[in-house]
Amino acid sequence: MNPFIAILSPAKSLHTKTQVSALQQPIFLQKSAEINAELRKKSPSQLMDLQSISNKLAELNADRNLHWSVEGHQEATPAMFTFTGDVYQGLDVETLDAESRERAKESLIILSGLYGILRPYDAILPYRLEMGTKISINDSADLYAFWKNEVTNYFNQTYSEKTLINLASNEYASVIDRKNLRLPVLEITFKDFSKGDYKIISFHAKKARGLFARFLVEKNPQSLNDLQLFDYGGYSFSSELSNHSQLVFLRG
């Protein structure tokens, strides 16, 4: 059994023309419909203010919201192949072999403002909704309140014997209730040498998270020592900066 389950953030940029078929409906699709019911009430100008986006993006996403439906997911694309941001450039799913793609099903989870939990082959329709968006859904003040119990309970019930590897941003990882999570959490930090010191550089760190996800599905590590062997992208393990709950990798 794979002893690790890694969480990733989604991406704003999407590729909706993938030829790979989605195999599953998202676990919380009906709850996603509750969110969509609120989103479709928003005009483009309201979305501009709510999501701090341009008029062009607001019009695009207002149209997406109106055309989103539970039934439409039969024609949707798989999450792991749809997101195309920096993290997913590092993962580079199109070049993974069949065995690695299969292993991703038990190794990776994508957190989502609209879907809560996405497995790699869950079907999604185009959307834009960051977890930190200040939108109230039913009795929930925001998306964190809406998703926190559902997401945390899902990990407790589904992956109780695994260690959770956090490859997500703070915005998304914060949806998990650490106080009630029964899985141990391992933080992964990437630092690049810049101006005389090792620093977390956002652009590089995002791509490195994707590289680490790729390492997980390609190399199938079975222990903490195996994780320390990560060397993709020129990174190397720092025993001096790491501890039992955080692994630090340096480059440069």
Question: What is the C-alpha R_g of the chain?
Answer: 18
Number of C-beta neighbours around residue 101 at 10 A: 18
Please state the pTM of the whole predicted model: 0.97
H or E segment and range at residue 100: helix 98-104
pLDDT tens-place string over residues 107-144: 999 999 999 999 999 999 999 999 999 999 999 999 99
Residue-wise burial string across 154-175, b where 16 or more C-beta atoms lie within 10 A, e elsewhere: bbeeebeebebbbbbbeebbeb
What pLDDT, on a 0 to 100 scale, did the predictor assign at position 89? 97
- In the numeric block, the tokens 């956090």 are attached to 166
Residue-wise burial string across 180-189, b where 16 or more C-beta atoms lie within 10 A, e elsewhere: eeebebbebb
Residues 6+ apart with CB under 8 A from 234: 251, 252
What pLDDT, on a 0 to 100 scale, did the predictor assign at position 2? 87
pLDDT tens-place string over residues 77-110: 999 999 999 999 999 999 999 999 999 999 999 9
What pLDDT, on a 0 to 100 scale, did the predictor assign at position 198? 97
pLDDT tens-place string over residues 55-79: 999 999 999 999 999 999 887 999 9
Indicate if the alpha-carbon torsion angle 212, 213, 214, 216 is positive or negative: positive
What pLDDT, on a 0 to 100 scale, did the predictor assign at position 31? 98
- Percent of the chain with pLDDT strictly greater than 70: 100
Judge whether residue 22 has pLDDT over 80: no
Judge whether residue 16 has pLDDT over 90: no
Question: For the chain, what is the mean pLDDT?
Answer: 96
Kindly report the CA angle at 159 between 164 and 115, in degrees rounded to 5? 80
What pLDDT, on a 0 to 100 scale, did the predictor assign at position 161? 95
- Identify whether the C-beta of residue 215 lies closer than 8 Å to the C-beta of residue 232: yes
What pLDDT, on a 0 to 100 scale, did the predictor assign at position 73? 87
Residues 6+ apart with CB under 8 A from 221: 4, 215, 227, 229
Q: What pairs with residue 109 in β-bridges?
A: 7
Residues 6+ apart with CB under 8 A from 197: none
pLDDT tens-place string over residues 165-198: 999 999 999 999 999 999 999 999 999 999 999 9
Of 87, 74, 156, 86, residue with least CA distance to 117: 156
- What are 97's two structure tokens? 């072999």
Strands 4-8 and 116-118 turn out to be: unpaired
Which has more pLDDT, 227 or 21?
227
CA distance 233 to 213: 12
